[in-house]
Amino acid sequence: MDYTVLKAVCSELSTTWTPAKMEKIVQPDRFTLLIAIRTLEESGWLRLCWNPACAHVSVGDPPGGAPSIAEAFSFGEQLRHLLKGLAIIEVRIPQELERVIELRLGARPSDPPSKHLFVEIMGRYSNVFLTNADMGVLACAYQVGSKMTSVRMVQVGGTYRMPPAAQGSFPSISMGMAEWKLITRATQEDKLQNSLIQAFRGVGPGLAVELISRSGLSPSMDPAAMTEDEWFSLHVVWLDWLRVLEESTFKPGLVRSTGSYSVLGGDGPYILSTDQDSEDAATGILAMLDDYYTRVYETEKFQQLRQQLVAKVSAATKKAQSKVNLFEDQIKASMEYSKISKMADLLMANLHVCEPGALSITLPDFETEEPTTIALDPRQTALVTAQKLYKRSQKLKKSEKAVAPLLAEARDELTYLSQVEVSLQQLDRYTRSTDLRSLEEVRDELVEGAYLKPIIAGTPPPSSKRKKKSSPLDNFAANMRRFTSPSGYEVLVGRNNRQNDVLANRVATEYDLWFHARNIPGSHTVLRVPPGQTATDEDLQFSADLAAYFSKARGSGKVPVSYTSPKYLQKLKGGKPGMVKVEKETVLLGRASDSPEGRQLLATA
């Protein structure tokens, strides 16, 4: 986000969002500040982000709706206290060609500013400072002390100073082509892109690439090898850029060569990303930036969260498998109780033939008369050995009764974790906000199940005694996959166990049909059949194919798929989310290798 972008942001904020009352201040994470602002015409959320990977300023709706003010970051708490009742009365760039925006704050638009909020968008040095009218620092995102820099120290209680000026010449529309060319070539860089960046202030990598591409040249070409016509073409584009800065005629657009945004119009429209397959082009700079950086932020968050969840679920699965193996071994060992009891009976019936000090005795079985060898303790009588065998037999019998429910519980847990693994496998990449929402639902589910500690600072630990607030049904339904069957009926596919649970127990009606890969972890699939209508064989096959594809058997060819009416589904008492018992079912063969990408989507695929 270079100076040109900040200039465009400042221009649109000044035109559209000034003056604006600040109604709420939230710091949802350590790098982001959200300020609810309202003008006479509209309201929105001003986002100030100093994340080194995607520092930016934008206005839009926060992901997931309006955020809560509850958080554990002191900077947000301080600003909420210090800026109460104030409004943004002016937005400006305090130092030309520098990446700093100043928000002047006051009680009323006609009053002189009583506080200043400086937003520095400078890569890993990005920061936010709040000062009083005399530039005394009241709060900051993080303090810049002597250990971090010797050039400019800015700390609470000190005086705010602007960052050191960037190196390079000051670009001017009055500068002739000969002088401009001389300054550009004087850098001795062998790439045109680097020459512009080093020669002039306010030129970043993105701007340099866009200007060079618009002139029909290559960013990697050597300035020393350029012809006069090429220099002229580049200079024309250069002057166009300076006029845009001077007149503030910015326009949102897309740079197709880099896939990034442009405030100079780019070479195509910037299409806003939505959870529906719409083609709405951005009409404002702030909306475009909010869309772009939301995707950048959510992609990074999605990748980090998925990596964490995969690791946690994998570890929990190994632990559950170990428990199953242990309990199975104990059950297997306990099955020997009848054999040991029979050995004790043999020994008690033949005490008269047992010789003192013997190490073992071989006796005929009561029923088969096969010889049975029983180990004896030479230091004890045969009666004591028989009593010990009886005692061991009873212990093993009790062990079987005690371990059997533990084994069933461990197997249920393993099945549940296998289902979670399938959900994570299907959520393998970020494409839209619904992907992140679905992944966060998996995280919340694991937190409630005590498989994962709360990852948001300040979140209370899960408790079985604490009443869990259920999420609105519409939120879960909105994130589900949606398809259209051959007859035009809607088909819903859950993305995680929570959605599966909602789909099977709350969304599906008596007219619908429920599908699931038989005895295989996978997504619940529901074919929505309108009252009075009947699903065709093509509808059933279509839904069965989806259930097979969104299961652990994906890519395995044909897979048995159970389908039934939702009335034959029984939610297991005390069971994990998405776990149901099927009382009556019909089986189809679903094609697990058929990708749904070619099918018509109602929302997300």
- DSSP string spanning 483-496? EE-TTS-EEEE-SS
Confidence of residue 598 (pLDDT cuts 50, 70, 90): very low
State the residue for tokens 């500068």: 175
pLDDT one-digit tens code per residue, 214-234: 999 999 999 999 999 999 999
Average pLDDT over residues 503-531: 92
Residue 513 has pLDDT above 70, yes or no: yes
* pLDDT number for residue 464: 37
Give 227's contacts (C-beta < 8 A, 6+ positions apart).
Answer: none
pLDDT digits (tens, 9 = 90+) for 134-187: 999 999 999 887 777 767 888 899 999 998 888 899 999 999 999 999 999 999
Residue 57 has a pLDDT of 95
Q: Residue 459's pLDDT is what? A: 41
pLDDT for 225 equals 93
Q: What is the pLDDT of residue 201?
A: 93
Backbone angles phi, psi at 577, to 5 degrees: -55, 135
- What is 293-435's CATH number, 1.10.3470, 1.10.1200, 1.10.287, 2.60.40? 1.10.287
Under the banding of pLDDT at 50, 70 and 90, the label for residue 274 is low
Res 336: pLDDT: 73
| Residue 203 binned pLDDT confidence (cut-offs 50, 70, 90) | very high
Whether 293-435 and 177-282 are alike in CATH topology: the answer is no
Does 426 have pLDDT greater than 60?
Answer: yes
Domain boundaries, the chain: 3-159, 177-282, 293-435, 479-604
Class of domain 177-282: mainly alpha
In tens, the pLDDT along 358-388 reads: 888 888 888 888 888 888 888 888 888 888 8
* DSSP assignment letter at 584: S
Residues 6+ apart with CB under 8 A from 461: 453, 454
Instruction: Give tens-digit pLDDT for 3-45.
Output: 999 999 999 999 999 999 999 999 988 899 999 999 999 999 9
H helical segments located in 1-55: 3-16
The CATH number that domain 3-159 falls under is 2.30.310.10
Query: What mean pLDDT, rounded, does the chain reach?
Result: 86
The residue type found at 285 is I
The Cα 491–Cα 482 span in angstroms is 6
